[in-house]
């Protein structure tokens, strides 16, 4: 019995160290596309990585898994799900990443993650086939100015 417990402890100890390397190999990463000479705003990630995409069409929910960026993919709101003629599904989802407002008529900034793609009839999607955009909307005076919208598109590495 002591031998079995010892071997189990040893095996669990090794598997705990192997986790991140395994996830590094299994993830698909996207890099933000910005014009040359232009920087990436501080609150927008320059790289987005994920490992798995699963759509549950019946409940219109999506699960996107990332070991290294789990908070980025939590609470995605599915805005559109359609079944194609071949039984697959297309979807769109979004999430507000940040919403900053400085008073009644001050500066405001909202960044929204937009994800769309296609899954098979079982709801499994290819992480390398998504369209990922972050929309950054800023206003210098949210009472008297129109929003300045800027889209940041991501391309798979």
Q: In the prediction, which pLDDT does 8 show?
A: 41
> Kindly report the CA angle at 67 between 40 and 8, in degrees rounded to 5?
155
Domain that holds residue 144: 28-156
Residue 118 included in any domain: yes
| Percentage of the chain lying above the pLDDT 90 cut | 66
Cα distance between residue 89 and residue 121, in whole Å: 6
In a domain? residue 19: no
Report, as an integer, the average pLDDT of 68-94.
95
The per-residue pLDDT for 3 is: 47
- Where is pLDDT greater, at 36 or 81? 81
The average pLDDT across 83-90 equals 96
Q: What is the pLDDT of residues 104-117, one digit of tens each?
A: 888 889 999 999 99
Position 2 in a domain: no
20 falls within a domain? no
Does a structural domain hold residue 21? no
pTM for this model (two decimals): 0.82
Residue with tokens 């405001």: 108
Who wins on pLDDT, 6 or 133?
133
15, pLDDT greater than 90: no
DSSP the chain: -HHHHHHHHHHHHHHHHHHHHHHHHH-EEEEEE--TTPPPPTTS-SEEEESEEEEETTTTEEEEE-SS-HHHHTTPEEEEEEE-TTS-EEEEEEEEEEEEE-STTS-EEEEEEEEEEEE-TTSEE-GGG-EEEEEEEEESSTTTS--EEEEEEEEE-
- pLDDT at residue 24 greater than cutoff 70: no
Number of domains in the chain: 1
**Average pLDDT for 81-104:** 93
């Amino acid at each position: 019995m002591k031998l079995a417990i010892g071997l189990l402890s040893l095996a669990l100890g090794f598997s705990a160290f192997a986790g991140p390397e395994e996830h590094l190999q299994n993830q698909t990463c996207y890099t933000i596309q910005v014009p040359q000479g232009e920087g990436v705003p501080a609150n927008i990630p320059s790289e987005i990585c994920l490992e798995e995409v699963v759509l549950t069409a019946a409940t219109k929910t999506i699960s996107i898994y990332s070991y290294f960026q789990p908070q980025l993919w939590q609470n995605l709101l599915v805005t559109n799900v359609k079944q194609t003629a071949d039984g697959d599904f297309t979807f769109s989802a979004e999430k507000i990443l940040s919403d900053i407002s400085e008073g009644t008529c001050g500066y405001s900034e909202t960044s929204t993650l937009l994800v769309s793609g296609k899954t098979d009839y079982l709801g499994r999607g290819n992480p390398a086939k998504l369209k990922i955009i972050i929309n950054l909307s800023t206003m210098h005076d949210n009472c008297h100015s129109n929003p300045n919208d800027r889209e940041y598109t991501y391309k798979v590495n």
